[in-house]
Amino acid sequence: MRLFLCLLLVLAVSSPRAWSDPATPRRANIILIVADGLGSGDLSCYGQTQFQTPNLDKLAAGGIRFNNYLAGGVADSPALASLVIGKDTSHLPGMDFSLTASDLTIAQLLKDSGYRTCLMGEWTLGDQNSVGAPWLRGFGEFEGYFDATDAQNPYPSSIWQYCPRFDTTENKMGIFNSRETIYKNADGKKNEYTSDLLTDWSINYIRNNQPQWFNHYRPFFLILHYPVPGNGNRVVPTDAPFSEESWPQSEKNRAAVIARLDGHIGQLLEQLNKFNQASNTVIFFTSDTPPQKGGGVDPKFFHENSSPDDLRVPLIVSWPGEIPAGQVSSLACSARDFLPTAASLAYLKPPKGIDGTSFSPALFGQNLK
């Protein structure tokens, strides 16, 4: 026995890694949840008083809430591009464009370092025939839409999928890359609401990709891009629980959509706890564009603390056990800062040539004024 222990000690000391490189810390999963057209004042944790958003309030209470965070812009493409490539919209080519082969996304950066990567929802930076297609810009899986019009369909009959799938013809695993029919909505049926579908798919992705010993605790990166509450006219399955309110119908609909979104966040948090991933997952919740007056909705009804041309939107970041709870920050930051912040949380250096700056120190209680 003594000889065996001595041999183990010799092997450990003689190993070239024994005294050189420290062990790499286990990296956290990163989830970026993006709501379309949501304003800070739409959430009760930001002071909205018409109704409550308890799950997002809980997320904010468990981490940090930013009061001076700006969306990337008012148009879908530049706003999303600012998030994923870390550039200011003034350095982007226009209102509607596709990413190029030289645009390095946060998904590519994380995937190249070992993360599994997935995008659920709207992608307006390149369709299936361009170099801006999500699978060419770092996403190992994609279930979603290539334009805002598609995304705003509340009961889609099909959705684009790029994902691993067993090919029965070839009798091996392959990649499915095409439109997939949503049979419950086929032929004009209205059984599966868009945001419900995206939530269910995201939960399945988290379940199937949770870091475990057999996959060497490989973390995942998920962007969940909701098309709600949106800007303009919207269809909702029900205006409950606000049906009896004396509000205009447009306000009832928007409130119902936001309450439904809040419920989806509750579902995601519940499943992360169920899969024992809550303490190993950083969640960013924000909006890609600020709310605009449309569909008969008065911005002041929900977000009295912001004007219609204000780019301020909510940003909540939570990582139980790591980010101190109950923080409120007035740090000036914006969508372009997400990429370098997420990179730093994954122990990576951001690419050169971006405009953003990491605000990760602020997450852990450091004042970056």
Residue 212: predicted pLDDT: 84
Helix, strand, coil percentages, rounded to 5, for the chain: 35, 20, 45
How do residues 7-20 score in pLDDT, each as one tens digit?
A: 444 334 333 333 33
Question: Which tokens sit at 9?
Answer: 């000690």
Q: From 25, 2, 36, select the one nearest 224 (Cα to Cα).
A: 36
- Under CATH, which number does the domain 25-363 receive? 3.40.720.10
Q: Which residues pair with 64 in a beta bridge?
A: 317, 327
Lowest mean pLDDT among 169-178, 210-219, 322-331, 353-362: 169-178
Residue 10: predicted pLDDT: 38
Higher-pLDDT residue of 1 and 217 is: 217
Higher-pLDDT residue of 251 and 107 is: 107
Please tell me the distance from the alpha carbon of residue 143 to that of residue 177, in angstroms, as a whole number.
10
Q: Which residues pair with 31 in a beta bridge?
A: 222, 283
Lowest mean pLDDT among 180-194, 224-238, 308-322: 224-238
What pTM, to 2 d.p., does this model score? 0.90
Contact by Cβ (8 Å): 31, 222: yes
How do residues 144-177 score in pLDDT, each as one tens digit?
A: 999 877 878 899 999 999 998 866 676 677 888 9
